[in-house]
Structure 1
Amino acid sequence: MTRARTHAWIDASAGVAGDMLLGALLDAGADLDAVRAAVHAVVGDAVSVRTERVRRAGLAATKAHVDLHEEDPPHRTWTTVRALLGAADLPDPVRRDALAVFAALATAEGAVHGVPADDVHFHEVGALDSVADVVGVCAALHDLGVTSASAGAVALGSGTVRAAHGAIPVPVPAVVALSRGRRVRAGGEGELTTPTGMALLAALATTDEDLPELTVAAWGSGAGTRDVPGRPNVTRVVLGEPAGAGRSRACQLEATVDDLDPRLWPGVLARVLAAGAFDAWLVPVLGKKGRPAHVLTVLSPPGRAGELEELVVASTSTLGVRRTECTRLTLERDWVDVRVEGTAVPVKVGLLHGVVQQVMPEFEDVARLAAELGRPERRVLAAAHAAAAAAGWVVGQAPPAGPRRGEAQGR
């Protein structure tokens, strides 16, 4: 059976906050009861979620309200929030995405305040409000079947805003930190994008692009609190199947280097991958004047190309980097666990149009198990392949029904 891919494009040209994006997804058809169930699983009866139809500068939109039922909710640390999410009865993709959002937020807030991420208190965004907004958005995306997301340029705002430590300039420091690699602009007066809103984009909509080619299936508008004359205070979302399922934009960055100590290359590759590259590799070539050289190639998300170019320049001895715009076909990827000698071995599977194309056990886990069993790696690898086939993961066939560990690639 073919499974359609659903892409969510987020229009943050008027700004984005957690409740605005939640309202947009509910307006686009996400089930409110599913959102409420996910939020309740994490924070119980401490909050409730409701919606209201409103107008913002003449446009109809859905306002998502998170009502607090605690007089003075505690300011939870990232460690506490992580434990709450880990213990909650949530679908794996919802938990995974919520953890990614809060990790991004904690890292940014920690860098801004000069404290370890685990010690960050989420008082600046409101502990329970933030948890409900983030979990609600992740649950809404899951309910809508969204498999990928992107966003256009983000309006951050201008002026100042009052926070726990006094008046600070807009965009606030955490929003600036989370904006790295994105196109941003002021877009108007006041705080148009909150740390929670930008963390959602940073973790879940990693591709920065204008509206991509889609077969539109649904759309929605989520309202902010204020009704600003002349400017609809809304975040919009457009849902649809991407043209050419599995295709996305990328930038291929290249540099030819003939004078770098070869012992440095593994570190260069590791750094560009850690900085967000899709992939990176090195090819030996014969350069000018017969010199042995290497061509470094970095496959980059469009929104991170500039950052990665600068990293290549800083990490190597090159005097320039070539950039080529391209598209790539990416398979939908999931993780499944199979058992070999009673031990779980993760297997990465790739699907195209709902049909299994690749089945590959994770080699590091295979090698670890082989060492524990005292057997050759090739035999444990073959056993893992056989276990996957016995579970129904066969190339050329539809995937079996049943739980998975979640997509191997992020949105």
Structure 2
Amino acid sequence: MRILVIDPVGGISGDMLLGSLIHLGCPVGYLEDMLRRLPVDGFTMETVPRSVHGIGALDLSFHCVHEHKSRTYAHIRDEILSVLPDAVRARAGSIFLALAGAEAQVHGVDVDEVHFHEVGALDSILDIVGIAAAVEYLCVEAIYCRQIPLGTGTTRSMHGTIPVPAPATIRLLEGRQVRFTDIPFELTTPTGAAAVAALALPGSPPAGITVSATGYGCGDREIPGWPNLCRCILCEAQSGKSGLETYLVEADVDDMNPEETEAALERLLEAGALDALLVPKIMKRGRPGFGFQVICEAESLHRVVSSLLTHTTSIGARYHPVERTVLDRTSYTINTRWGEVGVKESVLPDGSTRSKLEYRDLARISREQGIPVASVRVELERMIREDGPRESANHEGSTLTGANRAGDEAPQIGAAGSNATERGSSGGGQ
């Protein structure tokens, strides 16, 4: 798993972040080809190597044809981003949406009606699309951001003089670790803050990752005694569940129609949840309610939280990293005289195995044959025991189970000449 750690040493802006990604290894030619697809006026991209406090960095800037345009978020989403590949469009769109949401809250208008002056400016559009394209090129699967420094004072905007950090910047950084400084400049811009808000996961990167490359981007301004740098660190984490940080996401509701909870749980699983369940609760003032508890990996956290807030009546969600132990598992199907039946096999800590039949298949057979589920289970479990060990089919976990059983025959249950076939596992479990 490839992880990007953003370290905004002296601050973060769109051009500083993109410069650090180019310095990290994203080719300029690739970015230029991607940006030339956009239906915008002419521009040139310039990258200049610089030394900041003795550290080699890249100073990126765009030189654009002067425009007199104020674009809305809806125009950027529907017209400009539509020409991009799906993955790049999704990332760039999430950055623009984060910024549009912050501006809408600050100015009290609808998101689609937000007129971007800074973001509508061509160089900022190029920064955001370039960041999304560079992240895609580098095959980054998860992003984290370290503590973000903020300056002080005031700055000029289309609306007049505003405080530093800008109101949209502060709104975007809610829930993030920041550091207030006495530096009288805008160290972190709305574009840089939007990239962090949209792309970076909360919390710290998982332990035990390996650094593979580092890139530095710098700003134009030289600040005495202050390294005006943004550093990006590319890391590798061990593949598999043991290398990924896992989160518990929770939300409580007492005003939701119980009939709608099933659909909410299904949407959570579709969003990437490893497991999702409901816990009955007695809420304030004695009202009955439900608690949603969801387990997901870090890379799915934003999607899961968004799904939870979209498909339930909750107005907020809690989440924090948790540790879990997962047994190595295989899943396969067996052919029986009643049709295919799924089996899950887990490897216990002492090396022994435990098999479990898929309940949905047992229920189907019970319904079709008119016999109790318990009777179906007893007969199939007896048949599995009589057939003995089998070759693992679809493995989940860190150690291959049954790798030396390649010559074993698959179980034949209830019908001559039948075979075991592979089937994907369902559900991650807590």
Give me the TM-score of the superposition, normalised by structure 1: 0.64
Please list the CA deviations of residues 127-160 of structure 1 after superposition, one character each: whole Å capped at 9, or x if unmatched. Answer: 2011100111111111212122111121122221
Q: Contact 2:145 / 2:200 at 8 angstroms: preserved in 1?
A: yes
What is residue 325 of structure 1 aligned with on the other side? 322
Q: Contact 1:107 / 1:117 at 8 angstroms: preserved in 2?
A: yes
Q: CA RMSD in A?
A: 3.9
Which stretch has the larger CA shift, 215-224 or 148-157? 148-157
Flag the structure with more relative contact order, 1 or 2, with Cα contacts below 8 A and sequence separation at least 6. 1
Query: Distance between the aligned counterparts of 2:13 and 2:34, measured in 1?
Result: 19
Give the counterpart of 1:180 among 170, 174, 184. Answer: 174
Please list the CA deviations of residues 188-236 of structure 1 after superposition, one character each: whole Å capped at 9, or x if unmatched. Answer: 4221111111111111113332685322221100101212222211111
Change (3 A) 1:112 1:243: same
The answer to whether structure 1 residue 105 and structure 2 residue 117 are counterparts is no
Query: Distance between the aligned counterparts of 1:322 and 1:178, measured in 2?
Result: 19
What is residue 45 of structure 2 aligned with on the other side? 49
What is residue 147 of structure 2 aligned with on the other side? 153
Q: Contact 2:165 / 2:188 at 8 angstroms: preserved in 1?
A: yes
State the SS of the aligned residue for 2:15: helix
Letter in structure 1 aligned against 2:109: V
State the SS of the aligned residue for 1:140: helix
State the SS of the aligned residue for 1:155: strand
State the SS of the aligned residue for 1:142: helix
Change (3 A) 1:128 1:295: closer
Letter in structure 2 aligned against 1:220: G
The answer to whether structure 1 residue 224 and structure 2 residue 215 are counterparts is no
Counting matched residue pairs gives 307
Change (3 A) 1:94 1:254: closer
Give me the TM-score of the superposition, normalised by structure 2: 0.61
Query: Distance between the aligned counterparts of 2:4 and 2:235, measured in 1?
Result: 7
Please list the CA deviations of residues 13-64 of structure 1 after superposition, one character each: whole Å capped at 9, or x if unmatched. Answer: 4211110010000000101011111111114552221200012233221011
Letter in structure 2 aligned against 1:152: R
What is residue 188 of structure 2 aligned with on the other side? 193
What is residue 282 of structure 1 aligned with on the other side? 278
Q: Which runs of 5+ in 1 are unaligned?
A: 287-291, 330-393, 397-411
The answer to whether structure 1 residue 8 and structure 2 residue 4 are counterparts is yes
Q: What is the Cα deviation at residue 77 of structure 1?
A: 1.1
Please list the CA deviations of residues 242-277 of structure 1 after superposition, one character each: whole Å capped at 9, or x if unmatched. Answer: 1454533344366999xx57747968x96997xx99
- Listed as ranges, the matches of 1:8-407 within 5 Å are 8-68=4-64, 70-88=65-83, 90-125=84-119, 127-189=121-183, 190-209=185-204, 212-246=207-241, 247-252=243-248, 263=257, 281-284=277-280, 296-299=292-295, 325-326=322-323
State the SS of the aligned residue for 1:27: helix
Q: Contact 1:207 / 1:301 at 8 angstroms: preserved in 2?
A: no
Query: Distance between the aligned counterparts of 1:138 and 1:43, measured in 2?
Result: 17
Q: What is the Cα deviation at residue 184 of structure 1?
A: 1.4
